[in-house]
């Protein structure tokens, strides 16, 4: 999403800053300072919003944060939802996916993106409810959803259950996996070293070296990858992220993140904790995926061989046990 003045940061002013404050208020995160200026109060409000949306909470309003604010404006029933290009995104889509999943209709990842899996689930729900199965979420479909009991807090969607079962059935060696390794700049050596070791283990591997993470996700999806592992350098805020949103998380992604976190913490200075995130690379991939923020940069480059070995061990352990034990 290209918006004039984005990214915004402390000291900025103008109409986009005013619009930012309006959107923060609408999302429930008002900044108490000057609505004309991106000040310290704005930073605090932006960070709180980012944390609530499982984004990197740096207090700067970049494209990801702005897109999340725009999506927060939409509630189920505000607009017609249907399959289009580019695909519709918003909190109304997230709500729809959660409701469908709670009722036993597999809408795919609860990612807030109205894609093919979601339209298939809508048609199945419409057929089940005696509504014309056109895949369009209009007033009749919204009313039918409202008449049925919503999913309970903490209850798994059918998508989570099916992902876990599919991974358990497919567990085995690395030779059964199509692995995408991605980096956004600065770590080509680490990725290529890891790729060589995985290829020696029999895995099918694709490496991606580009800053556009949405494009990386699209390539991984089209290549039918079974798992994605991405890395980037970070001077602080080290972490291993997996996809999580309200009421949903990738169980395969979380299990791989736990393995990678242990490997990185034992090989690099500083903890690399596991974080459930909703950033684009995790939200848009259609397979278990992790995004690793590594630091300190000089240390990571110096220890790239041992870090690559840690990732190899993590993927090996994950392939043998790709989801946490049943609850």
Distance CA 19, CA 67 (A): 13
Please tell me whether residues 192 and 139 are part of one structural domain.
no
- Same-domain check for residues 138 and 236: no
Q: Give this prediction's pTM.
A: 0.86
Which tens digits make up the pLDDT trace of 74-122? 999 999 999 999 999 999 999 999 999 889 899 989 999 999 999 999 9
Residue 213 sits in which domain range?
A: 164-320
Secondary structure element (H or E) that encloses residue 274, with its range: strand 274-277
Please, are residues 311 and 259 in contact by the beta-carbon 8 Å criterion?
no
Residues 168, 131, single domain; the answer is: no
270 pLDDT more than 90: no
Q: Give the whole-angstrom CA distance, residue 191 versus residue 193.
A: 5
Question: Do 179 and 300 have their domain in common?
Answer: yes
Contact 241, 257 (CB under 8 A): yes
Residues 115 and 143 in one domain: yes
Mean pLDDT of 224-238: 91
The answer on 237 and 144 residing in a single domain is no
């Amino acid at each position: 999403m290209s918006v004039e003045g984005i990214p915004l940061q402390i000291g900025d002013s103008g109409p986009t800053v005013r619009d930012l404050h309006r959107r923060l208020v609408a999302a429930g995160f008002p900044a108490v300072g000057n609505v004309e200026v991106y000040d310290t109060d704005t930073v605090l409000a932006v960070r709180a919003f980012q944390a609530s949306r499982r984004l990197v909470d740096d207090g700067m309003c970049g494209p990801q944060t702005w897109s999340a604010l725009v999506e927060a404006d939409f509630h189920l029933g505000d607009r017609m939802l249907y399959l289009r290009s580019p695909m519709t995104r918003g909190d109304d889509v997230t709500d729809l996916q959660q409701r469908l999943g709670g009722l036993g209709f597999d809408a795919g990842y609860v990612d807030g993106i109205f894609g093919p899996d979601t339209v298939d689930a809508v048609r199945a729900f419409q057929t089940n409810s005696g509504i014309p199965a056109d895949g369009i979420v209009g007033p009749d479909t919204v009313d039918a959803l409202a008449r049925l009991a919503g999913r309970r807090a903490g209850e798994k969607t059918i998508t989570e259950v099916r992902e876990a079962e599919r991974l358990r059935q497919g567990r085995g060696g690395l030779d059964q996996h199509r692995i995408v390794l991605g980096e956004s700049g600065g770590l080509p050596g680490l990725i290529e070293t890891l790729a060589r070791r995985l290829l020696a283990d029999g895995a099918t591997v694709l490496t991606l070296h580009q800053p556009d993470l949405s494009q990386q996700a699209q390539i991984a999806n089209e290549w039918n990858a079974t798992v994605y592992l991405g890395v980037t350098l970070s001077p602080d805020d080290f972490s291993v992220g997996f996809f999580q949103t309200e009421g949903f998380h990738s169980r395969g992604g979380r299990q791989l993140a736990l393995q990678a976190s242990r490997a990185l913490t034992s090989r690099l200075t500083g903890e690399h904790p596991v974080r459930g995130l909703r950033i684009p690379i995790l939200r848009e991939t259609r397979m278990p995926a992790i995004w690793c923020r590594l630091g300190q940069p000089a240390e990571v480059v110096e220890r790239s061989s041992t870090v690559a070995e840690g990732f190899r061990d993590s993927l090996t352990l994950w392939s043998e046990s790709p989801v946490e034990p049943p609850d």
